[in-house]
Amino acid sequence: MCKGEHGLLVVISGPSGVGKTTIVHSVKDAFDAVFSVSATTRRKSSSEVDGQDYFFITPEEFDTKIQNKEFLEHAEVFGCHRYGTLKNPVNQVLVDGGVMLLDIDVQGGIQVHDNMPESVRFFILPPSEEELLRRLKARGREDEDSIQRRFREAKREIKLAQESGAYEYFIINDSLEFAIAEITSIIKMIRTNTATTS
Local structure of 10: helix, strand or coil: strand
What is the identity of the amino acid at 104? I
Distance CA 89, CA 85 (A): 9
- pTM (2 decimals)? 0.89
Q: Give which of 115, 128, 116, 113 is closest to 161, Cα–Cα.
A: 113
Looking at residue 94, what is its pLDDT?
Answer: 95
The answer to whether the beta carbons of residues 183 and 23 sit under 8 Å apart is yes
Angle ∠(114,102,14) on CA atoms, nearest 5: 85
Query: How many other CB atoms are there within 10 angstroms of residue 22's CB atom?
Result: 13
Looking at residue 5, what is its pLDDT?
Answer: 61
Distance CA 122, CA 136 (A): 21
Looking at residue 59, what is its pLDDT?
Answer: 94
Distance CA 126, CA 15 (A): 9
Looking at residue 3, what is its pLDDT?
Answer: 43
Series of mean pLDDT values for 10-residue runs along the chain (198 residues) = 69 93 95 94 93 93 96 86 94 95 94 96 96 90 91 95 97 96 96 73
User: b/e for 73-107, b at 16 or more Cβ within 10 A?
Assistant: bbbeeeeeebbbbbbebbeebbeebbbbbbbbbbb
Looking at residue 195, what is its pLDDT?
Answer: 67
The answer to whether the beta carbons of residues 34 and 100 sit under 8 Å apart is yes
Greatest CA separation for the chain: 53
Distance CA 121, CA 15 (A): 15
Domains of the chain: 8-197 (3.40.50.300)
